[in-house]
Amino acid sequence: MSRLARFSLRNRALVALATLVAIVFGGISLTSLKLELIPSLEFPGMAVVAADPGASPEVIDAQVSTPIESAASSIDGVTGTTTTSATGVSSVFVELEYGTDMDAARQELESTLSSGTSGLPDDVDPQVIAGSIDDFPVIQISVAASGDLEGLAQKVDTDVVPLLSDLEGVRDVTVTGAPEREVQIALRPAALVASGAEPSSIATALTDNGVLVPAGSLTTGDRTLSVQVGTRLTEVADLEALPLVGAKAGTTLGDVADVEVTTSPVTSIARTDGDPSVSIGITKTPSGNTVDISHAVQEVFSDIEDAVGGDASVDVVFDQAPFIEQSVEDLTTEGLLGLVFAVVVILLFLLSLRSTLVTAISIPLSVLVTLIGLYVTGYSLNILTLGALTVAIGRVVDDSIVVIENIKRHLSYGEEKSHAILQAVREVAGAVTSSTLATVAVFLPIAFVGGQVGQLFRPFALTVTLALLASLLVSLTIIPVLASWFLRSPDTQVDPALVREQAHQKERRGLLQRIYVPLLDKSIGHPVITLVIAGVLLIGTFAMTPFLKTNFLGDRGQNTVSL
């Protein structure tokens, strides 16, 4: 590994250029990384819901659930299914292996179910639902205004939803609490019999009318226009005027049925501070930035109020962004404090401002290189990756401290600068490399854990690994170059043997040596007692684990309660 130091000293301009590139691209990565609370988790399962109104559970099980289970079993990666057959509805949950491409699996299952070979009844339309943590709303807002709730809901659908859908990173906008309108046709049996029409003629009239049908094209000169026939039905009067096939001449739908527009049965209710409102949930795309989307939504609040008009008000019901920003801010503050304290401790031990500054450079450089790795691998800044950076800050500086301290020692012997740097790096390169790789060997295997634990902690493990490897590279390449530029050899000729002896005596008189050496002598002189104490501490530590609290993410400081 000392060859890296030799290469760096011979190509100092190249090392300086690489350092500047790392700083620039690290800064770009920092501003480009997504901000999330936790890494995106994808649940390895799909739910298939199919309705057949009026069918008994036995019929549902035989004609709906069984064909769905058969179709699901043909999908790659399926580990099992759980089925519930109830009156009129079938629910099948399909479990898949972790790592399965959920989008591809869902498309394959939908294709299988929609094919004619699925065995499902013709009037059964199954819905396949696959979700991840990205399916939870990034921000939930409510829109309220005095007056008619139906009018408010219509303005939200026509003006507000398109406004929010156009924001960058928004995948879907869902509206709840809005009353829906439907057309009800109530037959008058006596009038229907008198007209001579069959009930099926009404369905035929509705199917054959109100649609636009392509009827070819019309060419005039150098222009070609498409031709469509038919007229859309936009009012109740249009429906009432539909002629019925098989009935007496001139009989229309309005002659045999009452047609009216009514409000659909309520399926969702939204209230804000007790008043009726319309709730809007915004979900993001997998590549969307939660914080950016939240801010973009709040920036268009005034546009939403203008679109709704009147005394409209927009309120935030739930927002992930403040929790994320607070977590990022807290961890960033802790990381910066760790950086400051690490520099202070280095200064106290090295007692050299130049050596301290050279060593401290390894911390931000290692972090910037790690951020580049996170950006390239597609991970985000979240409480786990930021926590990993915070943990790594204290460790990434170790390699540089060892290297710079040994370089400083050799320079104090009066050796020629280049020779002193190479000799110092050669002496500690093996130890530095082995200690770093040993630490990497602790964290890196976590990245290969399967299941949900692997999805959650893989970014943590890779972040620590990248930071440690970056610190090793910095200590063996950039630190020697900086040492050659900023560290000085003694101004006068010195006796290396005398300097070594003085340094040895100074170390023996130090407080650390006076405490540590006697303790070490006693430990070696009484090995049985030492091992017994170590064993008691080990057993006692394991005995205390049942008293530790266990939860998923702990208190995140949320100010909302969901019931």
Rounded Cα gap, residues 493 and 61, in angstroms: 95
Which of residues 453 and 485 earns the better pLDDT score?
A: 485
Which of residues 552 and 207 earns the better pLDDT score?
A: 207
Which of residues 475 and 132 earns the better pLDDT score?
A: 475
Helix (H, G, I), strand (E, B) or coil at 251: coil
Which H or E element spans position 56? Answer: none
Q: How confident is the model at residue 524 (pLDDT cuts 50, 70, 90)?
A: very high
The count of other CB atoms within 10 Å of the CB of residue 374 is 23
Poorest-confidence range of 103-112, 129-138, 155-164, 450-459?
129-138
C-alpha angle 429-435-441 in degrees, rounded to nearest 5: 130
What is the per-residue pLDDT across 334-367, written as a single tens digit (0 to 9) for each?
778 877 887 888 788 777 788 888 888 888 888 8
Residue 528 has what pLDDT?
Answer: 94
CA 84 to chain CA centroid, nearest Å: 32
Residue 269 has what pLDDT?
Answer: 85
Highest mean pLDDT among 135-139, 301-305, 418-422, 491-495 belongs to 301-305
Residue 555 has what pLDDT?
Answer: 60
Residue 9 has what pLDDT?
Answer: 83
Q: How confident is the model at residue 21 (pLDDT cuts 50, 70, 90)?
A: very high
Residue 559 has what pLDDT?
Answer: 65
Residue 533 has what pLDDT?
Answer: 95
Residue 507 has what pLDDT?
Answer: 66
Residue 465 has what pLDDT?
Answer: 92
Average pLDDT of every residue of the chain: 84
Residue 209 has what pLDDT?
Answer: 80
Residue 557 has what pLDDT?
Answer: 57
Average pLDDT (219-237) is 82
Residue 273 has what pLDDT?
Answer: 84
Q: Is the pLDDT of residue 481 over 80?
A: yes
Beta bridge partners of 50: 90
Residue 491 has what pLDDT?
Answer: 61
Answer whether 420's CB lies under 8 Å from 499's CB.
Answer: no
First to last CA, the chain: 59
Q: Is the pLDDT of residue 302 over 70?
A: yes
Residue 116 has what pLDDT?
Answer: 64
Average pLDDT (542-551) is 85
Residue 251 has what pLDDT?
Answer: 85
Burial class (CB in 10 A: 0-12, 13-18, 19+), 175: middle
CA 418 to chain CA centroid, nearest Å: 48
Q: How confident is the model at residue 434 (pLDDT cuts 50, 70, 90)?
A: very high
Q: Residue holding tokens 């006068």?
A: 492
Residue 527 has what pLDDT?
Answer: 92
Q: Is the pLDDT of residue 530 over 90?
A: yes
Residue 410 has what pLDDT?
Answer: 79
Rounded Cα gap, residues 331 and 337, in angstroms: 10
Q: Is the pLDDT of residue 326 over 90?
A: no
Answer whether 68's CB lies under 8 Å from 51's CB.
Answer: no
What is the per-residue pLDDT across 368-406, written as a single tens digit (0 to 9) for each?
999 999 999 888 888 888 888 888 877 788 888 888 888
Which of residues 501 and 153 earns the better pLDDT score?
A: 153
**Which residues have CB under 8 Å from 306's CB, separation 6+?**
none
Residue 482 has what pLDDT?
Answer: 87
Residue 532 has what pLDDT?
Answer: 95
Q: Look up residue 51 and give its two tokens.
A: 């309705």
CA 113 to chain CA centroid, nearest Å: 31
